[in-house]
Amino acid sequence: MHAPDRGRFVVAMEPSARHKLLRPLPEHEQLALEAYWPFWARDEQLPPPGDWRIWLICAGRGFGKTRAGAEWVRHIAEDNPDARIALVARSIGEARAVMVEGESGVLACHAEDETPAFEPSLRRLTWPSGAQAMLYSATEAESLRGPQHSHAWCDEIAKWDNSSGRAMTAWDNLQMGLRLGEHPQVLATTTPRAVPLMRRLMESIDPDIVVTRGSTYHNAEHLPAEFIRSMKRQYGASAIGRQELNGELLADVEGALWSRSLLEQGREDLCLEDRVRTVIGVDPPASARGDACGIVVCALTESGQAKVLADASVERPSPERWARAVAAAAMVWKADRVVAEANQGGAMVESVLRAADCQMPLRLVHASTGKSARAEPVAALYEAGRVNHVGTFPQLEDELCGLMAGGDYEGPGRSPDRADALVWAMTELMLGKRGEPAVRAL
């Protein structure tokens, strides 16, 4: 039986049975066995054979990517005293909290007498062998321009900041600094997202790049059974489930008004500018047993940039429930106006919102064209770089990427309710005729 197979067999045993099996071993042998990663690891968590330069683990959450990365770093540092390793994450905070000090991080993988010395102020790890690792933030791409390394572990590269091409610049600067030792190597671990760097690596035909794929369920024996059942029940074969659990890099739909790459290019973590207007777009369901009620919060900043701040949509709500959700979002975000589609009964929509104590100005809009036709000018704003998503909104973004030029919808669900709510809010903020910014010429 192969070592990983034996490890999985032992891991799968009940704790009492496992303890009984290992109890005859001397204590030092038990400790050595616990520390011997190839015995416990699955095949896909071990370095692939061959003279690869880049190893990309693209897998779902909970797959064991962090442990695989930390154990690889440990192996390099213990076997190569001259190793100079770069540990690169989205931020220094994440590099320290996840890659170094996390439950599956570098420090947790070592026995006490082998643990590297960590100097947080210097962002440096030093092993008893003499090997060293330095922490870097992908947001500070220029910090990778000068240093030289023999190896690198890059964590969650799909989360790196894509604004102004920072993620690609950080990656390129790192690659150009990998010039120590006879065979420099990089391990990149990530849950996939359709960002330029991911596409570049996944679509490459370079034989020096090896890709390992995997899902959350491959590591089920180490995860709570209730977590696995819950994930399957909630997300199943949905787009977010395919991406975050199955580790699929979702492809863009040809002819769609939005692409995932376009959305990623405009993503940011925080809205640092002051808001001059905040609008909530609402696409009410036709009935209590119908589709979701789309509720999307958007804002306009002083510079004329539009921001998507929140998706507060609710599934299969009663009129009272979706109205309360709108009122709550308006209060939380201090909205200036609610824009609601009234094709299903304008008076009813207004009365329901007023009954839920929604007191800010309300504008009822009537759809005279199809959803895709209304969405095209808004998609043009995204193309022009005028819109940012502050955070990630998987269900909303799945619907946007399913709206097709020409009128069809190929996204999840029967109707793009969230996307329609966004379109109404963006139209009010950016395409109105009362002095709001309009689409600039392309």
pLDDT 10s digits, 15-30? 566 556 666 767 655 5
Computed on alpha carbons and rounded to an integer, the radius of gyration of the chain in Å comes to 25
Higher-confidence residue: 33 or 396?
A: 396
Instruction: Assess contact for 126 and 119: CB atoms under 8 A.
Output: yes
Provide the pLDDT for residue 321. Answer: 87
pLDDT 10s digits, 381-440? 999 999 999 998 988 998 999 898 877 787 777 889 999 999 999 999 999 754 344 444
Q: Was domain 260-430 assigned CATH 3.30.420.240?
A: yes
59 SS3 class: strand
The whole model's pTM is what? 0.66
**What is the distance between the alpha carbons of residues 145 and 251, in angstroms, rounded to a whole number?**
32
Give the 3-state secondary structure percentages of the chain, helix then strand then coil, rounded to 5. 40, 20, 40
**Domain 41-241 class, CATH top level:** alpha beta
For residue 21, the Cα-to-chain-centroid distance in whole angstroms is 41
If you ran DSSP here, which 8-state letter would residue 163 be given?
A: G
The domains of the chain are located at 41-241, 260-430
